[in-house]
Structure 1
């Protein structure tokens, strides 16, 4: 494993594999601004299907335009709240008296 900042010389034909940790994001997905979801789809960060399934945003697959009415209807149907995380200490504090 390499440090976060390093230099490694590469030669033609070398293969580099980079793995980064993922994160669950912040906030309720159904409360995300649909315009931001559309921007991520257009930037190819999300698929149209993922936008619909996770964010409740309906986007035309051909034009990549937001369907506001369908988005509002889909989000209304999804009434089950998503649990929120609360920060927890990574480690317990020191024992009393230390």
Structure 2
């Protein structure tokens, strides 16, 4: 990623809009993570800058937690009745 000054080094900080794009979340969720001290910020004047290293650390922590939990993925949609449940409910 090229910065404004033409350097090939990745940025140390990004603005809120870019951080939400990087994480694929909305501004509200990003501000919740900031309030929970999951992601670090800097204030420069009125600008809120998100520390890119803390974004990467957050992603690593979340990936590690999900690997440790080994939680099966939830199926999408509403729960369906099984054939056994349907047969039992149709009996008098």
Q: Same fold (TM over 0.5)?
A: no
Q: More strand by proportion, 1 or 2?
A: 2
Structure-1-length-normalised TM-score = 0.35
The TM-score with structure 2 as length reference comes to: 0.36
Which structure is higher in RCO with an 8 Å CA cutoff and minimum separation 6?
2
